[in-house]
Amino acid sequence: MTGLGLPILGGLALLGLVAGVGITAIGPGGVLATIGLFALTGLSPAQVAGTAIVTHIATGALGTAAYTRSGQLREPATRRTALTLAVSALLGTPLGVLINGTVSDRVFGILLGVFVALVAALVLYRDRRTDPAPRVRHPAVSGIAAVGVAVAVASGIVGVGGPLLAVPLLVVLGMPVLSALAAAQVQSVVIATVGTAGYLAAGAIDWPLAALVGIPELAGVLLGWVLARALPTRTLTYVLIASLFGLAPYLAFHG
């Protein structure tokens, strides 16, 4: 954290809190930590991804516990989806970490900008497509596995957890939102653990910054879980969509 002023440090902590809320309330959110580390620090692409991804071990574990307590992860179909996503993450995450090691700051910014815009578009599509009273339906294992691998590769590259992409993709496939949120928390633990091991081996994790972002992120995860179960989250969803669309071009042309 050497050379970073208090406003930047405070901004990173605040982004961590908001990211945590987004992770359990609507799925996307964890990318805000990556955005903050990329835009506000001088870390390399590997350091940005490594420092961000390590925070998702704890947030994914806490999210998994929360959705187990509220019942979603006790449903056999949701557990099957979570297991399929987790196994897929074992295959996709190492590939994402390897790809990250080959990209420059410029290319990383472009990839992150495209990633953020894609997430915003998926969340918007999900929100407009969701039936107010959806039928409970779970995708086929093959579809879940394809989503799991794609999500894990992308997550390994930019340093995010599973819910960011997995939740909107699973909902597009017809899965109920809360079930998708629950299953994605389990995948997030695997992605973050495998990704952390890869970036740790490369010496690409800034532990003080990981703590600065990760501790508020944990608090946000609990708050987001409460919001997801108790309140309509459409306003939060649209604020996030607008923010991601606004940030995408800045990230692509940053640096």
pLDDT at 160 over 80: yes
Q: What is the pLDDT of residues 62-91, one digit of tens each?
A: 888 888 988 888 889 899 999 999 999 999
Mean pLDDT of 242-254: 77
Range from 25-34, 57-66, 177-186, 200-209 carrying the lowest mean pLDDT: 25-34
pLDDT band for position 27 (50/70/90)? low
Instruction: Judge residue 68's burial from the number of C-beta atoms within 10 Å of its C-beta, 0-12 exposed, 13-18 middle, 19 or more buried.
Output: middle
Confidence (pLDDT) at 187? 94
Please give the radius of gyration of the chain, using alpha carbons only, rounded to the nearest integer. Answer: 16
Return the pLDDT at 1.
60
Give Cβ neighbours of residue 80 (< 8 Å, ≥ 6 apart).
138, 141
Q: How far is CA 33 from the centre of its chain?
A: 9
Unique residue bearing structure tokens 């669309």: 245
For the cut 60, the answer to whether the pLDDT of residue 236 exceeds it is yes
pLDDT at 31 over 50: yes
Q: State residue 183's pLDDT score.
A: 92
> What does the pLDDT read at residue 19?
81
How far apart, in whole angstroms, are the C-alpha atoms of residue 50 and residue 46? 6
Q: What pLDDT is recorded for position 79? A: 92
Supply the pTM of this predicted model. 0.83
pLDDT (tens digit per residue) in 183-233: 998 999 999 999 999 999 999 999 999 999 999 988 887 887 777 666 665
Supply 219's token pair: 């608090």
Cβ–Cβ < 8 Å for 195, 159: yes
Mean pLDDT, to the nearest integer, of 157-182? 83
Confidence label for 133 from pLDDT (cuts 50, 70 and 90): very low
Task: Tell me the mean pLDDT in the region 38-63.
Answer: 90
Q: Match 């179960």 to its residue by tokens.
A: 229
In the chain, what percentage of residues exceed pLDDT 90?
Answer: 35
237, 232, 245, 15: which is closest to 127 by C-alpha? 237
**pLDDT of 254 strictly over 70:** no
The backbone torsions φ and ψ at residue 154, rounded to the nearest 5 degrees and listed phi first, read -60, -40
| Weakest mean pLDDT among 87-96, 142-151, 232-241 | 232-241
